Amino acid sequence: MPIRFRLAAQAVAVVLAIVAIALIPSTIELFAMMQLTLFAAMAVLALSLAFIWGFGGILSFGQTAFFGLGGYAYAIAAVNFQDSTPSILLAIVVPSVFAAILGYFIFFGRISDVYLGVITLTVTLILFNCVNSTSGDEYRIGKALLGGFNGMPAVPTFNVPFYPDQVLSPEQSWWVTGGALLGVFLLLRLLLSLPAGRIVVAVRENEVRASLLGYDPRKVKLLTFILSGAIAGLAGALYVNWGAFVGPTIFSLSLSAEIIIWITVGGLGTLLGPVVGCVLIEYIVAYIGSQQAMNSNLVLGAVLIVFVLLLPKGLVPTARDLLMRLVPAPGPKAQLAEERVPPSAAASHMAGAE
Amino acid sequence: MADLVPLLKAEHLTMRFGGVVANDDITFTLEEMELRCLIGPNGAGKSTFFKTLTGQLVPTSGAIAFRGHPIAGKLPHEIARMGIGIKTQVPNVFNGLSVRENIWLAVRRKATPRAQGPAVDAVLEMIRLTDHADRIAATLSHGQRQWVEIGMVLAAEPELILLDEPAAGMTDEETGHTAAIIREINQTRAIIVVEHDMEFIRQIAKKVTVFHQGRVLVEDTVDKVMADQRVRDVYLGKKVAA
């Protein structure tokens, strides 16, 4: 019974989200909507780390590597084809292939977690320096000039699939970006409720036990890594579509750190938390930036410290715990079984996230 | 039928760590449906032997075969897929997941989706955790988590089960339950148990292999082993004699 109730509640939430995405352009100003478009693109990036870190147990500092590769793949392809349709596809495929190659050596080489963090961080820096030093006419791919430190301006934005001359309006771009965010969110939700997703969580919980049951943790982690790279790549394309620009700072370390802060604030081990954390933090950063009274990095650091000390679980899990305490549960089962999972695998991600 | 390949056969197995010989020329055979206990004082080589059986260590020389297929050098998940179920000494369970999902993860490799539910229920019944099925594994007592792990090993339907100190840290009552579970498993499957607790071994054992200084000291029925003077000297000491 509680499971049916939860499913119904989730269906209502999805419908509400669709309605909100549909109505936003007609209710708020263009500037605010553009900002929301940026936040939605960043939230897709947040989801990519939320999945691999919160559910796969792999702390990758390199999500911006895939994000940047996706952005550049989109920009280069869009300049060459003058059509966003194959470019978006490439923005997903290129980072996935890169993740597959990098991940193969990391996971099949049995490299430990700490080194995984170092390697992903270093790869991001290498990409930054490579792209940063491509100034000059000789660095071009087809018609696309890489532009080095200056980046690539005037990248064609999204168009109606297969109709290059029908460029999307800002409203339509919002619908695509907001829709992509909802789509990725629902896709990950679905995946996590399927056996494949439960195995990802099992490997996070106990790699030794998973392998003693016959699961190959190397393969599971590699696939998790590739999927999260693909999502980050899509986020890169959405980001470039928002600004019609891509530059090497897309590989920056500060962005890598920011994603981790979004997730810490929103709640590790959830999907909703990182989205909330991302929008909240990005909003604060944008607000502070427009005031010019304080340094936004200082505030970000303070926010991170406050959350780690006072709300280590993050916003969403804390709110959920409070709700559960307020609503008297019918029995111990309802308290422990968690959202969305089918009865055969009623499980929780509450633990193991820390 | 007498020439059937034994379930598990180790021949001239030697394991060296630098200058230390942890296992010295061990030959060991396990028949179908057998229940075997491995005992020996600390440093006798039982853990090393267990680890070579589970693929965690690759022997320096010698061969191990499961139904005639070599094991040495295979990865843990490959050994699991051959049909060997392993319970490690420190309980390895999925702490953040419910008991039911722990078992389900083990069941689903073999069972069809339709058969998974009943199979999980049957295992829960056997390990006596039906009432705790929806609890998170981390919230269970140490003994209960040991059972969850035994349950997972069982649920994967292996043909050979290796248990490393299954009764470690259990109360007397829990140890009794565990012995009952092991006897029940042995109705259909072969088991190797590494154990320190002599009371527990008396409750379950039929045949016992005693390790001493990296070699097999004696291999016989539990009563004869307990009566053996050499075994008393190296391991059992006055505790049993008294």
Closest chain B C-alpha to A203 CA, distance in angstroms: 9
Average pLDDT of the segment spanning A222-245: 96
The SS3 of residue B159 is coil
Partner residue facing A344 (CB), from B75, B85, B104: B104
* Average per-residue pLDDT for chain A: 87
Q: What is the pLDDT of residue A213?
A: 92
Both tokens assigned to A90: 């490439």
Confidence of residue B228 (pLDDT cuts 50, 70, 90): confident
SS3 of B13-52: EEEEECCEEEEEEEEEEECCCCEEEEECCCCCCHHHHHHH
Interface test with A, best of B71, B86, B105, B110 (most A CBs within 10 A): B105
Closest chain A C-alpha to B178 CA, distance in angstroms: 20
Q: How many CB atoms lie within 10 A of CB A82?
A: 13
Q: What is the pLDDT of residue A330?
A: 52
Q: What is the pLDDT of residue A65?
A: 95
Least confident segment among A254-263, A342-351, B69-78: A342-351
Confidence of residue A120 (pLDDT cuts 50, 70, 90): very high
pLDDT at residue A61 tops 90: no
Q: What is the pLDDT of residue A41?
A: 96
Long-range contacts of B180-187 (CB under 8 A, 24+ apart): B181/B126, B181/B127, B181/B147, B181/B150, B182/B35, B184/B126, B185/B154, B185/B161, B186/B33, B186/B35
Closest chain A C-alpha to B241 CA, distance in angstroms: 39
Residues of B within 8 A of A336 (CB-CB) are: 98, 134-136
Q: What is the pLDDT of residue A348?
A: 36
Both tokens assigned to A290: 């427009």
Residues of A within 8 A of B98 (CB-CB) are: 336-337, 346-348
Q: Is the minimum CB–CB distance between A202 and chain B shorter than 8 Å?
A: yes
pLDDT at residue A344 tops 70: no
Convert the pLDDT of each residue in A241-282 to its tens digit.
999 999 999 998 889 889 999 999 999 999 999 999 999 999
Closest chain B C-alpha to A234 CA, distance in angstroms: 31
Closest chain B C-alpha to A198 CA, distance in angstroms: 8
Q: How far apart are the first and last CA of chain B?
A: 44
User: CB within 8 A of B32, min separation 6: which ones?
Assistant: B4, B6, B7, B190
pLDDT at residue A319 tops 70: yes
Judged by CB atoms closer than 8 Å, whether chains meet at B134 and A353 is answered as no
Partner residue facing A347 (CB), from B98, B106, B108: B98
Q: For chain B, what percent of residues have pLDDT higher than 90?
A: 28
pTM exceeding 0.90:
no
* Average per-residue pLDDT for chain B: 86
pLDDT at residue A316 tops 80: yes
List the single residue in B with minimal CA-CA distance to A203: B94
In contact, A75 and A318? CB cutoff 8 Å:
no
Judged by CB atoms closer than 8 Å, whether chains meet at A212 and B136 is answered as no
User: A253-266 and A63-81 helices cross at what angle (nearest 10)?
Assistant: 120
Judged by CB atoms closer than 8 Å, whether chains meet at A211 and B76 is answered as yes
Partner B, chain A 130-169, Cβ-Cβ below 8 Å: none
Residues of B within 8 A of A212 (CB-CB) are: 54, 76-77, 80, 85-86, 88, 92, 153
Q: Is the minimum CB–CB distance between A349 and chain B shorter than 8 Å?
A: yes
Q: How many CB atoms lie within 10 A of CB B53?
A: 27
List the single residue in B with minimal CA-CA distance to A199: B105
A228 vs B142, more confident: A228
Residues of A within 8 A of B77 (CB-CB) are: 210-217
Average pLDDT of the segment spanning A121-137: 91
User: CB within 8 A of A171, min separation 6: which ones?
Assistant: A25, A33
Confidence of residue B238 (pLDDT cuts 50, 70, 90): very low
Convert the pLDDT of each residue in B16-32 to its tens digit.
888 888 888 889 999 88
Both tokens assigned to A23: 């109505």
Convert the pLDDT of each residue in B175-215 to its tens digit.
888 899 898 889 889 999 998 777 888 888 788 998 888 88
SS3 of A144-179: EECCHHHCECCCCCCEECCEEEEECCHHHHHHHHHH
Q: What is the pLDDT of residue B57?
A: 83
Judged by CB atoms closer than 8 Å, whether chains meet at B97 and A347 is answered as yes
Residue A61 phi, psi dihedral angles, 5° rounding: -85, 0
